[in-house]
């Protein structure tokens, strides 16, 4: 087996297809769900595939297309098969209906995606009633299982995915009563916000924290705290959807001893999406909080090209320069440098705060490598840094730091 | 059985103590009924505790609690190994952080010796940090209690109840006692769930409601004040940070905040100790979680950088007394087993044996139950033993053990199917969780929540 791709979502399937296209044989995609396709399987709205397939598709259609392309390129897709860890000798340990298995591929591409932090991880106090879920669960309940939700629902978060949750709730028969965000405004597109306000008459409560959930056996009431004034008020509802607040599904990376990035909490990767462990690449949303599916697919394609080169020449850098950042930046990806262009010729950067016309500086050992302005940075959405400065990096030098020199809020 | 009785012994309360008593009594030729007010056995206080298998080294010498925990530790340890309840002998380190705490260590050693537990010993600070390199700075000394362990709080009551059930116990879930009346000539009429049972002996193991049942028969032996304990469970990736149970130096009120591995491979931080009014208020609180995080950051700073998987709240059945409140009213046929607080899990089997002794003294004839003994093997849900997803032979015999449904906890379709077909099947998602670990992990249903709901409803 030359390549094992862990995860059959957009990044993994696109990587498998690209490997086939590049002439790599023996590519195996391992998917733990019963069907390949990943998150788009249950994201029924339109708008998938613009960047990689150059046409708009619904989530399920996009998932099917990615699957067809990967199979068509010669990759083997094995579903209901989960990589549960690494053996002491470094092999991948698998469990599937066919049994327990050890695999020793020349290349592993981790493409296990990310998930939303659930209520418990956000330490929201109160009782533990039914009716509290993430967008992921909500979409599966409504779209994969065809179930009704009903009642009143509160959406926690105001990012793209939060508006997607709003649509899913109304599709499932629920009445959205509001959206909350701890930030001073929403983080999605103005059109989504206006649409939500007009179509569903959903208020957006900014600078608001969900400070308690009450009810038993189902949610009855949610307490909201005004982060500026400190006052609280309660809203009655039967469903609470915790959206966004993504974390990479990084268990295999941690178990495999891969260096993690402190910002993304995913494996630290260089421009070629190489992790710290020779032969192991990572792609898509296991690298960082969620990007859209087509961006993940392009990341998979990029990792596949790097993997194909590695299979051909066996070259693996023995040193890399790490990229760090300072607050209010949240993360930068890729976050290591070892030569070559990053995916789509750019580095992604995220901020914890809204920044208008931020001037970004990149330096190494006190030496300025680049400075430039971005139009704006919105929490939960990636800004784009060009890669022209990487040629000036001293490969023997200290870490590179990315920071905001000035900005308007 | 004597004329006119529906059962010889009726146990009110299917927590770990009530289940242990049911198991103990069904070893004999008796007609036993177990009533649980909640939807499942072991679903109240018994499911949300620190899950320690205590040696009883720190109990107050001479108390019933000390006696029963010391004995129960041995009994439960052996039973767990026999029927497959996950248990790990991690050992505990009791850490002193202040001069005052350091000064109290010798008295804790004395107390341990008085309880008959000798292996306790002092550790140097160097050895403490060698054993637990992630421990926060500033520890001044420690005691090692090598035999303290961790045990599965879910499987334990389920094992007791299943064994009792297989031995002929009548088990009713979702049936709360609403009235008790003395019968002429001894025995009790129990009203519960719209039905009546005439029992020769009533065992009150109602935990938080034990005082209410006591009052129904005219006694006022104690008042239960629910003592809320909040617990934070950290991601399994934090498990390498700690190898022992890290205990605090106890005060009069509480044993303090501890950090312990769990048999599921997580790390647990807690509990708080707050007396509250309502017996059903299992809500977590902002101040409780803040306090735990503050304590946790001091004890094991790196732990607080890890993801939180779950928050649990348990209510201990504390009373105004420091000891267990166990008494028998032989003429009426009433046994009260009240005030069993945090140590109920460790002490459960010895409490059951003690109750059996009281019943025997009160004239209940005990002859061994006819027929073969119940051969019980509980499904293993502990990390220290091979689980089905990692068991080549099991998957080979049945591919459903290779179909992982709950990815975070690696729970297979075969295990879920077995739980649903078991003698004591779950009635809801929480019951399935306690039997299989499904939905217990870091995603809390992001991936498998919808699938599990369907399986429970019999649709997939």
Is residue A224 less than 8 Å (CB to CB) from chain B? no
Kind and range of the H or E element at A353? none
Q: What spatial distance separates the first Cα and last Cα of chain A, rounded to whole Å? A: 51
pLDDT by residue (tens digit) across B217-253?
999 989 999 999 999 999 999 999 999 999 999 877 6
Predicted pLDDT at A144: 86
The residue extents of the domains of chain B are: 1-87+151-223+320-382, 92-146+225-318, 388-456
- Report DSSP state, residue B284: B
Higher pLDDT, B31 or B446: B31
Instruction: List, run by run, the mean pLDDT of 10-residue segments along chain A (409 residues).
Output: 94 98 97 96 87 92 97 98 96 97 97 96 96 94 88 95 93 95 90 76 93 96 96 97 96 97 97 98 96 96 98 96 97 97 97 96 97 95 96 97 90
Residues 6..45 of B with a Cβ closer than 8 Å to A: which? none
Residue B7 has pLDDT above 90, yes or no: yes
Rounded to a whole number of angstroms, the distance from the CA of A388 to the nearest CA of chain B is 35
What whole-number distance in Å separates Cα of residue A148 and Cα of residue A136?
15
Could you tell me the pTM of the whole model? 0.96
CB B255 within 8 A of CB B342: yes
For residue B396, the chain A residues in CB contact (below 8 A) are 99
- In this complex, which of A123, A130, A254 lies closest to B289 when CB atoms are compared? A123
Angle, helices A59-72/A10-21, rounded to nearest 10 degrees: 30
Nearest-CB residue to A120 (from B236, B308, B403): B308
Q: Tell me, what's the ipTM?
A: 0.94
Q: Is B427 on the interface with A (CB under 8 A)?
A: no
Instruction: Using CB atoms, pick whichever of A95, A128, A137 lies closest to residue B404.
Output: A95
* Interface residue B283 vs chain A (CB under 8 A): yes
**What is the average pLDDT across B44-62?**
95
* Interface residue A140 vs chain B (CB under 8 A): yes
pLDDT of residue A116: 95
Residues A191 and B325: their CA atoms lie apart, in Å, by 66
Residue numbers of A between 108 and 127 with CB closer than 8 Å to B: 115-121, 123, 125-127
pLDDT of B342 reads 84
Is some CB atom of chain A closer than 8 A to the CB atom of B451? yes
Other C-beta atoms lying within 10 Å of the C-beta of residue B248: 18
Contact A137 B285 (CB under 8 A): no
**Between vectors from CA B152 to CA B151 and to CA B157, what angle results, nearest 5°?**
115
Q: Say what the pLDDT of residue B175 is.
A: 98
Asked if the Cβ–Cβ distance from B445 to A137 is below 8 Å, we say yes
Selected for mutation to probe chain B from A118, A130, A267 (highest B CB count within 10 Å) is A118
pLDDT at B2 over 60: no
- pLDDT band at B3, cuts 50/70/90? low
Mean per-residue pLDDT, B200-228: 96
Residues of B in contact with A100 (CB under 8 A): 390-392, 395, 402
Q: What dihedral angle (degrees, nearest 10) is formed by the CA atoms of A96, A97, A101, A105?
A: -50
Residue A1 confidence (pLDDT): 65
Distance CA B171, CA B5 (A): 17
Residue B459 has pLDDT above 60, yes or no: no
In angstroms, the separation between the Cα of residue B315 and the nearest Cα of chain A is 13
Of A84, A134, A147, the CB nearest to B390: A84
Torsion of CA B353, B359, B363, B364, to 10 degrees: -80
How far is the CA of B374 from the CAs of B26, B35, B137, B381, in angstroms? 10, 21, 51, 21
User: For residue B210, what pLDDT is reported?
Assistant: 97
For B183-277, where are the alpha helices, taking DSSP H only?
210-216
- What does the pLDDT read at residue A145? 86
Contacts of A3 (CB under 8 A, 6+ apart): A16, A19, A24, A26, A27, A28, A105, A106, A107, A108, A109, A307, A311
Q: Are B54 and B81 in contact (CB under 8 A)?
A: no
Give CA–CA dist B299/B297, Å, rounded: 6
Cα B238 to Cα B440: distance, rounded to the nearest angstrom: 16
Q: What is the arithmetic mean of pLDDT over B113-132?
A: 97
Give pLDDT, residue A193.
78
**Cβ–Cβ < 8 Å for A83, A7:** no
Pick from B309, B390, B449: which is nearest to A120 by CB? B309
Interface test with B, best of A85, A137, A255 (most B CBs within 10 A): A137
* Residue A262 · residue A279 · CB < 8 Å: no
* A243 contacts in chain B (CB < 8 Å): none
User: What value does the CA radius of gyration of chain A take, rounded to a whole number of Å?
Assistant: 22
The CA dihedral of B352, B356, B359, B360, to the nearest 10 degrees, is -170
Asked if pLDDT for residue B1 goes beyond 70, the answer is no
Contact check, Cβ <8 Å, A144/B446: no
Low-confidence winner among A145-149, B39-43, B204-208 (lowest mean pLDDT): A145-149
CA dihedral over A169, A171, A173, A177, signed as positive or negative: positive
* Cα–Cα dist A223/A209, whole Å: 8
Contact B54, B91 (CB under 8 A): no
pLDDT at B179: 97
DSSP letters of B335-386? Answer: EEEE---TTHHHHHHHHHHHHHHHHHHTT----BPSSPPP---PPP--TTS-
What SS3 class is residue B76? Answer: helix
Residues of A in contact with B444 (CB under 8 A): 118-121, 134
The band of B448, judged by pLDDT with boundaries at 50, 70 and 90, is confident
Which of 3.40.50.620, 3.50.50.60, 1.10.10.10, 3.30.2350.10 would CATH assign to domain B1-87+151-223+320-382? 3.50.50.60
| Domain B92-146+225-318 belongs in CATH node 3.30.9.10 | yes
Please give, rounded to a whole number of angstroms, the shortest distance from the CA of B282 to a CA of chain A.
6
Chain B residues in contact with A144 (beta carbon < 8 A) = 450
Q: What is the rounded distance in angstroms from the CA atom of residue A374 to the CA atom of residue A353?
A: 14
């Amino acid at each position: 087996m030359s390549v094992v791709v862990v995860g059959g979502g957009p990044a993994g399937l696109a990587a498998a297809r690209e490997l086939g296209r590049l002439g790599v044989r023996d590519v195996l995609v391992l998917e733990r769900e019963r069907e390949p396709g990943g998150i788009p399987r249950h994201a029924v709205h339109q708008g998938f595939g613009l960047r990689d397939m150059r046409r708009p598709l619904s989530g399920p259609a996009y998932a099917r297309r990615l699957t067809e392309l990967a199979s068509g390129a010669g990759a083997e897709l094995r579903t209901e098969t989960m990589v549960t860890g690494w053996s002491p000798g470094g092999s991948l340990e698998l469990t599937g209906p066919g049994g327990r298995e050890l695999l020793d591929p020349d290349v592993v591409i981790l493409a296990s995606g990310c998930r939303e932090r659930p209520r418990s991880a956000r330490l929201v106090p109160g009782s533990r009633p039914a009716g509290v879920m993430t967008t992921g669960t909500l979409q599966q309940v409504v779209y994969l299982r065809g179930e009704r939700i009903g009642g009143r629902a509160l959406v926690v978060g105001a990012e793209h995915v939060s508006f997607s949750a709003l649509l899913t709730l109304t599709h499932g028969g629920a009445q959205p009563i509001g959206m909350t965000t701890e930030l001073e405004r929403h983080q999605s597109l103005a059109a989504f916000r206006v649409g939500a306000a007009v179509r569903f008459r959903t208020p957006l409560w900014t600078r608001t924290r969900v400070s308690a959930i009450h009810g038993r056996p189902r949610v009855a009431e949610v307490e909201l705290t005004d982060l500026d004034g400190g006052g609280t008020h309660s809203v009655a509802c039967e469903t609470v959807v915790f959206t966004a607040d993504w974390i990479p599904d990084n268990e295999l990376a941690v178990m495999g001893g891969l260096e993690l990035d402190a910002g993304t909490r995913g494996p630290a990767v260089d421009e070629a999406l190489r992790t710290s462990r020779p032969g192991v690449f990572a792609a898509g949303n296991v690298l960082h909080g969620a990007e859209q599916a087509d961006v993940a697919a392009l990341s998979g394609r990029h990792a596949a090209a790097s993997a194909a080169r590695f299979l051909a020449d066996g070259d693996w850098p023995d040193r890399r320069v790490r990229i760090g950042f300072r607050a209010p930046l949240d993360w930068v990806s890729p976050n290591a440098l070892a030569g070559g262009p990053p995916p789509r010729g750019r580095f992604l950067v995220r901020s914890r705060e809204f920044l208008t016309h931020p001037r970004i500086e990149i330096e190494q050992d006190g030496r300025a490598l680049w400075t430039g302005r971005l139009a704006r940075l919105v929490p939960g959405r990636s800004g784009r840094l060009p890669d022209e400065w990487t040629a000036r990096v001293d490969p023997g030098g200290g870490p590179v730091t990315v920071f905001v020199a000035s900005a308007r809020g | 059985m004597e004329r006119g009785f529906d059962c010889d012994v009726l146990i009110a309360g299917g927590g770990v103590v009530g289940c242990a008593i049911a198991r103990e009594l069904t070893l004999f030729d008796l007609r036993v009924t177990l009533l649980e007010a909640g939807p499942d056995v072991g679903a109240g206080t018994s499911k949300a505790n620190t899950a320690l298998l205590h040696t009883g080294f720190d109990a107050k010498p001479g108390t019933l609690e000390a006696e029963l925990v010391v004995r129960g530790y041995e009994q439960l340890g052996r039973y767990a190994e026999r029927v497959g309840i996950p248990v790990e002998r991690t050992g505990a380190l009791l850490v002193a952080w202040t001069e005052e705490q350091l000064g109290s260590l010798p008295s804790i050693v004395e107390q341990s010796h008085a309880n008959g537990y000798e292996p306790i010993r002092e550790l140097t600070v160097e050895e403490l940090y060698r054993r637990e390199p992630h421990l926060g700075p500033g520890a001044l000394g420690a005691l090692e209690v090598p035999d303290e362990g961790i045990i599965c709080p879910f499987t334990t009551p389920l094992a007791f109840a299943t064994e009792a059930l297989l031995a002929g116990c009548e088990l009713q879930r979702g049936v709360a006692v609403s009235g008790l009346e003395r019968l002429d000539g001894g025995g009790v009429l129990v009203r519960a769930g719209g039905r009546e049972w005439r029992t020769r002996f009533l065992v009150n193991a109602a935990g938080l409601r034990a005082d209410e049942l006591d009052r129904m028969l005219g006694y006022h032996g104690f008042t239960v004040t629910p003592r809320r304990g909040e617990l934070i469970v950290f991601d399994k990736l934090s498990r390498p940070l700690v190898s022992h149970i890290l205990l605090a130096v106890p005060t009069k009120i509480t044993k303090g905040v501890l950090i312990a591995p769990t048999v599921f491979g997580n790390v647990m931080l807690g509990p708080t100790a707050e007396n509250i009014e309502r017996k059903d208020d299992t809500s977590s609180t902002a101040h409780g979680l803040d306090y735990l995080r503050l304590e946790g950051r001091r004890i094991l700073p790196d732990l607080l950088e890890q993801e939180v998987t779950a928050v649990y709240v348990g209510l201990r059945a504390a009373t105004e007394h420091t000891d267990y409140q166990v008494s028998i009213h032989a003429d009426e046929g009433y046994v009260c087993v009240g005030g069993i607080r945090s140590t109920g899990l460790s002490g459960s089997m010895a409490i059951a044996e003690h109750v059996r002794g009281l019943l025997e003294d009160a004239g209940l004839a005990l002859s061994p139950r006819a027929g073969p003994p119940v051969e019980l093997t509980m499904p293993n849900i502990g990390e220290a033993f091979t689980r089905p997803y990692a068991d080549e032979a099991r998957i080979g015999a049945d591919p459903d053990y290779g179909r992982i449904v709950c990815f975070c906890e690696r729970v297979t379709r075969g295990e879920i199917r077995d739980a649903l077909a078991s003698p004591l099947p779950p009635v809801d998602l929480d019951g399935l969780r306690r039997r299989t670990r499904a939905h217990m992990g870091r995603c809390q249903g992001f991936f498998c929540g919808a699938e599990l709901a369907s399986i429970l409803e019999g649709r997939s």
